[in-house]
Amino acid sequence: MRNLYPTMFVIILALLIIWPIAELFVMVQVANWIGFFWMLFLLFASAVSGILILQHRGRAHWRRFRGAIDERRPPAREAFDGVMITTGAILLIIPGFITSVLGLFLLFPPTRWLVKLAAITLFASKFKVAATTASWGNRSYNYYRSSSRSSYDLDGDAVDVTERDDGEPFPQLPSGPENGEDKLD
């Protein structure tokens, strides 16, 4: 496991250097092909569409996620789709054609399914799945919240006890902020 960290560092460093160079190369090629201003327009349109998708689809997936929780079922599909759509929208916002293509790849359901399949294939051995059941169902909760629980109310009297059974007084606690009283200095 120790040898993996330097390798990952080198890969990440190479991506941080190679990725912007590849994006600039693709931008220059697109600008030569369709023109500089059209290239800028496509980058601007990609960023605006990413922002709009992030706003619209983010709310929609949050509602689906909450709906799954309200229905008491695991929201794994909704969480995965939400993460993929959010990542795709952010990749559309980042200037560049390679990131925009990757973002579009994550936005469409058939290609998102391929990403899910690849993630399960690559990382399935890394995770353990545990299924649990909730012990507090809707019926119990509604029973608890209903007015029928008044049968559990009891009437009683409170008695202030200042002396012990042997006639001695209870020791008094010193007054102070640690006993709930405010200090007025």
Q: Could you give the CA distance from residue 163 to residue 90 in angstroms, rounded to a whole number?
A: 71
Q: Indicate the helix (H) or strand (E) that contains 24.
A: helix 4-34
Lowest mean pLDDT among 113-117, 121-125, 148-152, 155-159: 148-152
Q: How far is residue 90's CA from residue 164's CA, in Å, rounded to a whole number?
A: 71
Side chain identity, residue 77: R
The yes-or-no verdict on residue 185 having pLDDT over 50 is no
Q: Tell me: the pLDDT tens digits for 28-78?
A: 999 999 999 999 999 999 999 999 998 888 788 888 888 888 888 888 888
* Of 73-77, 95-99, 181-185, minimum mean pLDDT range: 181-185
- Cβ atoms of residues 100 and 39 within 8 Å: no
pLDDT given for residue 113 in this prediction? 87
Range scoring the smallest mean pLDDT among 5-9, 139-143, 167-171? 139-143
The closest alpha carbon to 41, from 97, 102, 86, belongs to 97
Cα–chain center distance at 90: 15
pLDDT one-digit tens code per residue, 158-170? 666 666 677 777 6
Residue type, 127: F
- Number of CB atoms found within 10 A of residue 101's CB: 13
Q: Is the dihedral of CA 159, 162, 164, 165 positive or negative?
A: negative
Question: What is the 8-class DSSP label of residue 178?
Answer: G
User: SS3 breakdown of the chain: % helix, strand, coil, rounded to 5?
Assistant: 70, 0, 30
Determine the angle formed by the axes of helices 76-93 and 97-107, rounding to 10 degrees.
160
Kindly report the length of the chain. 185
How many CA atoms are closer than 13 Å to the CA of 177, on its beta-carbon side?
4
- Please calculate the CA angle 64-65-70 and round it to the nearest 5 degrees: 95
